[in-house]
Amino acid sequence: MRSVQKIFVPFVVLGKLRYGFLYGARSAENERRLQRFLSTSRVEVLFADDRTTFEYAKLSVQLRKQGTPIPLNDVWIAALVVQHNLTLFARDKHFDHLPQVAKV
């Protein structure tokens, strides 16, 4: 990630991170680190808009027809990736069910 010029963080990822922080022993420290990361000029948070909801719906239908459901929060992440024509950096194998989502 050090070599990329721009890092886009879906709003859903922030929610998932903060959820994990609240259950950890170092919640305040993790939040401070996250804030430092988010404040850098290379980082931009992506929020859902009307177009995102259409991408979300299309991906959800595709996954249902394929019989390969994935967590709903991850469908939102995939929708933002497709909408903005981005490459996803994730270890979750279930994104492999969505060939239109470019992955690293």
Three-state SS sequence of 13-63? HHHHHHHHHHHCCCHHHHHHHHHHHHCCCCEEEECCCHHHHHHHHHHHHHH
d(CA 99, CA 87): 12
pTM exceeds 0.75 for this model = yes
Q: Domain tally for the chain? A: 1
Residue 101 DSSP label: S
The CATH code of the domain that includes 86 is 3.40.50.1010
Establish if 51 belongs to a structural domain.
Answer: yes
User: pLDDT grade, residue 4 (50/70/90)?
Assistant: confident
Establish if 76 belongs to a structural domain.
Answer: yes
User: pLDDT grade, residue 3 (50/70/90)?
Assistant: confident
- pLDDT, tens digit, for every residue of 29-77? 999 999 999 999 999 999 999 999 999 999 999 999 999 999 999 999 9
Establish if 90 belongs to a structural domain.
Answer: yes
User: 33 is in which domain, residue-wise?
Assistant: 7-103
Establish if 80 belongs to a structural domain.
Answer: yes
